[in-house]
Structure 1
Amino acid sequence: MAPRKVIIDTDPGVDDVVAMLLAFSALSEELEVLLLSVTYGNIDVQNCLRNVVSLFFHVEKEIEWRKSQGKPLGFDSLRKQKPLVAIGPEHPLADQLLMADFFHGTDGLGGIHETHPHFTPAETWKQLFTKAGSSQSPADRIVTTELQNVDAMFIPSQAPADEEILRLLRENEPDTITIVAIGPLTNLALAAAKDTETFLKAKEIVVMGGTIYEHGNVGPFPNQQASLVSEPPISSC
């Protein structure tokens, strides 16, 4: 049986990091993570991207340690399939950016980048997500080329997240990709607006958007969740 293909739309956040670790730890015959589409949410989108890159940085070190100790490597689905990582817009489409850094700290991970800077990878990775061009110096372009030759745990994309979502939906059979949205829905809205027919090829969209039996984490309604409040016009559709 073919593995379930998923796109994870995320604004990490401690909770989203745990979700991604669970996905990467699944058996490769059960789950295939095609794309992490990064959005703003708990914090701004660049800090969210830093957290995604930091996650891969530490997973790679964890795998190296397990190998050196003769332990099972784990992270089966990740080792079988490197996911794409693409960045979405910095702001909502309609409303003012609603920061939720009071949930997980100003960096989304409880301030770990400030208190333990040695846990944060060098910022040269930023150039992997920047299109080479006249805005880059010759030195920057050399660094970018070197970085692209590194066997990283992910594939950086220089295309916007919504375009990568649509590309994957076009290239795969209809009803084979599940979109797991655990952040604000801006990337999904942009993809749907650009090419509705292609967007509807998704098998399903699973949204972390509210609660049934418990109170939500933000008002004014008792069951609301922060991701929906961040982009209300989209969430109401």
Structure 2
Amino acid sequence: MKKLLLIDADCGVDDAQAIMIALAAPNVEILGITCCYGNTVLENTCRNTLRVLHACNKLEIPVYAGASAPILGGSVDGAFFHGKDGLGDAPDPNAPGLDLLQKEHAVDAILRIVNERCGQVSLVAIGPLTNLALAVKMDPKLPKKLKNLFIMGGNTEGRGNVTVCGEFNFASDPEAAYIVINEYTCPTYIATWEFSCSSRLSWEFYHEWVNQDTGKAKFMKKITAHSFGVSAAHKKTPGKEVWASGFVSCDSYAVAAAVDENFVTELAQIGLSVELSGSLTRGMMIVDWTDKLKKKNKTFVMKSCDLEKLQALMMAALK
């Protein structure tokens, strides 16, 4: 049987890379893609998702628009690492329009799809967790109906990438991250910011990857040109050298784990939470190394992975 995935994304360039890994995997069926604000505003993340599906000739996969702002509201500034539009500011005049979006709201779609395939669906969250938080508040029994949950987000060492201590997806909506980490009791696997950075690929691989002679590779090279330039500029920026030291496709780690159960080679099962009140630590993922929280539902935190498997999945994605 194929693995049934439901992907929740804020489609920027690394979301595109991750989605294309899942699209190319022969053992995977994507039941839908739900969209959230994040790397850019919701309209752009929806448009970008459709562009990715169009590039892969997979527009039959339904796409749903979801949350446009955090649970408590506030501005959506976007990450800008992937360009203002989230996809490298490389427009395509032939891109599909938003009229192809499903009319059903993303949160309703999550609840319906999981109920239709109770116990079979792997939910993969690679953006802010607002849609997932809203879904579990609408149906508190949702986690028990999932096969498992894979998340890209959070941090284990207090190293922030958008705030002093906060990783982008969690810091974008700390309340949503708190709800998901504490209320999703299904088996949950998380690829954190530090894990992604420590599992980076070489720039030599990146060039080999995007220079394959295929339409998908040309598409990828076009949309990653902006972030590649930003990474190169960071070589001389104190504190940002990680972006220049190797190719990090953050969201691809969560999808790779969902696609191939042998991708992750070491896990730590541990209690987690999210800080909501700290003036410097709001949005930081709390790792309960000494089990003081006494949490029953502990999360599987990825510690190491098989980079050769990741490279193979990524190469196949652009064939």
TM-score (norm 1): 0.69
Query: Which AA in structure 2 matches 1:49?
Result: C
Q: Identify which range, 49-58 or 212-221, moves more after superposition.
A: 212-221
TM-score (norm 2): 0.52
Task: Write the deviation string for residues 65-109 of structure 1: whole angstroms up to 9, x where unpaired.
Answer: xxxxxxxxxxxxx59xx4221110211111413422421111111
Query: Which AA in structure 1 matches 2:90?
Result: I
- Partners of 1:42 and 1:101 within 8 A in 2: yes
The residue number in structure 2 matching 1:86 is 64
Residue 51 of structure 1 and its aligned partner are, at CA, apart by 0.7
| CA shift in 2, pair 1:211/1:233, >3 Å | closer
- Partners of 1:92 and 1:186 within 8 A in 2: yes
2:95 to 111, 114, 121: 121
The residue number in structure 2 matching 1:150 is none
Residue 214 of structure 1 and its aligned partner are, at CA, apart by 9.2
1:192 aligns with 2:189: no
Q: Whose strand proportion is higher, 1 or 2?
A: 2
Residue 212 of structure 1 and its aligned partner are, at CA, apart by 4.1
The residue number in structure 2 matching 1:141 is none
Query: Which AA in structure 2 matches 1:59?
Result: C
- Partners of 1:101 and 1:107 within 8 A in 2: no
The residue number in structure 2 matching 1:148 is none
* 1:1-237 superposed matches below 5 A: 2-27=1-26, 30-60=27-57, 82-113=60-91, 117-118=92-93, 120-121=94-95, 125-129=97-101, 157-174=102-119, 176-212=120-156, 215-221=159-165, 224-237=166-179
Q: Give the length in aligned residue pairs.
A: 179
Task: Write the deviation string for residues 111-150 of structure 1: whole angstroms up to 9, x where unpaired.
Answer: 101xxx43x425xx32333xxxxxxxxxxxxxxxxxxxxx
Same amino acid, percent of matched pairs: 32
Equivalent position SS for 1:187: helix
The whole-number CA distance in structure 1 between the counterparts of 2:142 and 2:87 is 35
Equivalent position SS for 1:53: helix
The whole-number CA distance in structure 2 between the counterparts of 1:54 and 1:159 is 20
Residue 35 of structure 1 and its aligned partner are, at CA, apart by 1.1
Equivalent position SS for 1:102: coil
The whole-number CA distance in structure 2 between the counterparts of 1:214 and 1:15 is 22
The whole-number CA distance in structure 2 between the counterparts of 1:107 and 1:101 is 10
Task: Write the deviation string for residues 149-205 of structure 1: whole angstroms up to 9, x where unpaired.
Answer: xxxxxxxx210001000001111132x111110001111111111111234311222
- Partners of 1:97 and 1:230 within 8 A in 2: no
Query: Which AA in structure 2 matches 1:232?
Result: P
Residue 31 of structure 1 and its aligned partner are, at CA, apart by 1.2
Query: Which AA in structure 2 matches 1:236?
Result: Y
- Partners of 2:37 and 2:76 within 8 A in 1: no
- Partners of 1:179 and 1:205 within 8 A in 2: yes
Residue 8 of structure 1 and its aligned partner are, at CA, apart by 0.6
Equivalent position SS for 1:104: coil
Equivalent position SS for 1:159: coil
Residue 216 of structure 1 and its aligned partner are, at CA, apart by 4.1
Q: Identify which range, 17-26 or 184-193, moves more after superposition.
A: 184-193
**Unaligned regions of 5+ residues in structure 1, if any?**
61-77, 130-156
**Unaligned regions of 5+ residues in structure 2, if any?**
180-319
- Partners of 1:36 and 1:83 within 8 A in 2: yes
Residue 21 of structure 1 and its aligned partner are, at CA, apart by 0.5
- Partners of 1:191 and 1:199 within 8 A in 2: no
Query: Which AA in structure 2 matches 1:172?
Result: R
The residue number in structure 1 matching 2:276 is none
The whole-number CA distance in structure 2 between the counterparts of 1:190 and 1:209 is 18
Task: Write the deviation string for residues 37-65 of structure 1: whole angstroms up to 9, x where unpaired.
Answer: 011001000011111111122223xxxxx
Equivalent position SS for 1:49: helix
Query: Which AA in structure 2 matches 1:96?
Result: G
| CA shift in 2, pair 1:14/1:214, >3 Å | farther
The residue number in structure 2 matching 1:135 is none
Residue 213 of structure 1 and its aligned partner are, at CA, apart by 6.7
Query: Which AA in structure 1 matches 2:98?
Result: K
The whole-number CA distance in structure 2 between the counterparts of 1:184 and 1:215 is 18
